[in-house]
A = this chain, B = another copy of it.
Amino acid sequence: MAKPNLRIIPLGGCGEIGKNMTVIELGSDAIIIDTGVMFPANDMLGVDYIIPDFRYLLERDDLTIHGILYTHGHEDHTGAVAHVIEALRGVPIYATPLTAALLEVKLRGANLEQETTINVFEAGDVLHVGPFKVESFHQCHSIPDCVGFGINTPHGLIVHSGDYKFDNTPIDGKKPDYAKLAEFSRRGVLLLMGDSTNAEIPGWTPSEQVVTEAFDRVFREAKGRIIIATFASHISRIQQVANFAAKYGRKLAIAGHSMTENVKMARKMNLLQIDDDRLIDVQRISSVPPHEIVVMATGSQGEPSAVLGRLATGQHRHMDVWEGDTIVLSAHTIPGNEESVSRTINRLFQRGANVLYDPIAPVHVSGHARQEEMKLLMSLLSPKFFMPVHGELRHLKAHARLAQQMNIPEENIVVVENGVVVEVDRHSIRLGERVPGGYVFVDGSGVGDVGKTVMRDREILARDGFLMVVVNVDSQGRMLGEPEIISRGFIYLRNADELIEQVKNVVSDVLIQTRASRNGKRRERLQESISRTLYNETKRRPMVFTVINEH
């Protein structure tokens, strides 16, 4: 009997950093790995976040989706869970304890916790999901409870790396599962799907141990308060800081809603070990001398409304930056956030703090493998076929070059962007059909309703604003009274009397010239003439609108 076709469909993460989501199909059976979100680029105006376009799954009503498997709890792997479960009600979830807890929060927030079952597993467990036997294995990353998957299919074994680095001295002591990788290799790996985030960076990502040493120095040398900003989900970084708080006799305060929630949950789950009397409420820190306090805070991306952003602009409710504070940014800057991070650093300096950040001090290391680790993974697994995932095209291409250096033949490597179906069997790997794989913008409560037209209008409004003229005419088409002018984002109207006067004259002239024309025509002529005047006077091109009211 012929084996059912094996197809891999990246709906996210291939051709971008973020919103990771992959479908693996065996005939009419499928599983999904991860359902992430992505944060908008600076020119995606007004967009809150981006989710994968998973229309394909809705259109394939012959397909049975047996489960969604999660590699770890970061937003770019979990953030779209509510959107996906809302559309695919009843599909069960498989996740490790921390990931499961984070997913549950999201589902509860969307009132969807009844619409799925979360099956909690431990790294190393074997999952039977439809026809797929999936072997999970522990991976080191910057959040605990991170796994990769070995997915057994009739065509062979697929290994999905998840996000990973080879950290031989991790904070939680849980080393990479080399034994499992070696076992996969012995059994033969058909296809490796590997994280490409750092594929352009030579060498080996330093161990979290490096950060430990940098932190030890910070705690040893700081004379005043220490404030450390990182991602709210960076549980292992929070553990490191808690350990140093104990070592150096400082109280630990957690500032920021999302981080407070995560700490609460991680402590409950025993993923974070902090003594009760080590912790202090952020509102009470002024009761402790500065050299006995350390604060963990959100805002490492320069977000103006997070804790660090508020401290930088003096707008935090319970805290101010003091001369003598040591402030540490312990996080990678997500591309696109460079300007806001830099602005935050500069403002904290202005307030007299000593600010430490990479590359000034090694207070952060990446959670993703670099080139030598990628090569190690390929060496350990000796896959027949290779498909780089998790990266923009530039990163996927760089990862593919590495694979060639590892003697994987070019024809055994596929570099694809979202929506390209990859077909694989024992003999070959090839590109199949194309399904939708673009961006779905979430803006407020709207999902996918902000398209090119609205975005282009926002661009024009952002650049030059608008000007609107409302004018009343009598039944003979003669202007009645003064036109009303409303404008925003174009020019400061109070200082633009002369220009406003000119616009009014243009309106009056055009209305006289076009007395005989119909309303639509007059409106068009008005808009043209006003636009021309505004451009000539200011070299700007605001949107111009006119309303002619006939009385």
Mark A residues whose CB is within 8 Å of B.
Answer: 15, 41-43, 45-46, 200-202, 335-336, 338-339, 342-343, 345-346, 349-350, 355, 359-360, 392-394, 397-398, 417, 443-446, 449-451, 453-454, 457-466, 468, 470, 472, 484, 486, 488-492, 495, 537-540, 543, 545, 547, 549, 551
Contact = CB atoms under 8 A, between A and B. Distances in A.
Contact of A547 (B346, B449, B457, B486): B486
A490 B342 contact: no
A345 B549 CA distance: 51
B359 A201 contact: yes
A132 to B, nearest CB: 32
Contacts of A359: 200-202
Given A41-B339, A398-B360, A454-B490, A466 B472 contact: no
Contact of A458 (B355, B465, B543, B551): B465
Given A486-B545, A547-B484, A443 B540 contact: yes
B454 A394 contact: no
A528 to B, nearest CB: 17
A463 B45 contact: yes
A498 to B, nearest CB: 12
Contacts of A338: 335-336, 338
Q: Is the interface of A mostly helix, strand, loop or mixed?
A: mixed
Contacts of A15: 346
Contacts of A543: 488
A539 B445 contact: yes
A484 to B, nearest CB: 6
Contacts of A484: 547
A519 to B, nearest CB: 12
A40 to B, nearest CB: 10
B45 A42 contact: no
A539 B349 CA distance: 36
A473 to B, nearest CB: 11
Contact of A45 (B202, B346, B462, B486): B462
Nearest to A394: B345
A538 B445 contact: yes
A464 B46 contact: yes
Contact of A538 (B42, B444, B453, B459): B444
B444 A346 contact: no
A462 B458 contact: yes
B472 A349 contact: no
B349 A489 contact: no
A468 B486 contact: yes
9 contacts: A42-B339, A45-B462, A346-B392, A443-B540, A446-B539, A449-B491, A457-B488, A461-B466, A486-B545
